């Protein structure tokens, strides 16, 4: 699909510069494939080898796999939510 190389670029061109006077914000979040999400955070541990390499550590979030959960669990949760919502309206 050659049209994707123009419409949906695969890589970010540049990250915006951080301003230390402004509050902390999410600079960028890119996910290319399923279960390939990463969190990047700065490490400030003195004497750590990670600090010597640039001070950035990547983490993989522990996300629950939805396809592994039974459908009955969703059905029961939805049913109890609807019952609680209807009680709140009355």
Query: For the segment 3-62, what is each residue's pLDDT rounded down to a tens digit?
Result: 666 666 566 566 566 677 877 665 555 555 555 555 666 666 666 665 555 666 665 555
In a domain, residue 72? The reply is: no
Give residue 45's domain range: 4-64
In a domain, residue 39? The reply is: yes
Per DSSP, helices labelled H in the chain are 4-7, 49-52, 71-89
Q: What integer is the mean pLDDT of 57-85?
A: 67
Number of domains, the chain: 1
Q: Are 40 and 60 in contact, with CB atoms under 8 Å apart? A: no
The whole-number pLDDT of residue 8 equals 60
In a domain, residue 18? The reply is: yes
Q: What integer is the mean pLDDT of 71-89?
A: 76
In a domain, residue 47? The reply is: yes
In a domain, residue 77? The reply is: no
The whole-number pLDDT of residue 76 equals 78
DSSP, collapsed to helix, strand or coil, labels residue 11 as: coil
């Amino acid at each position: 699909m050659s049209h994707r190389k123009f419409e949906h670029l695969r890589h970010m061109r540049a990250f915006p510069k951080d301003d230390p006077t402004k509050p902390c914000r999410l600079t960028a979040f890119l996910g290319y494939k399923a279960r390939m999400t990463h969190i990047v955070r700065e490490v400030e541990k003195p004497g750590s080898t990670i600090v010597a390499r640039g001070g950035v550590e990547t983490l993989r979030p522990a996300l629950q796999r939805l396809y592994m959960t039974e459908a009955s669990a969703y059905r029961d949760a939805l049913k109890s939510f609807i019952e609680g919502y209807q009680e709140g309206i009355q």
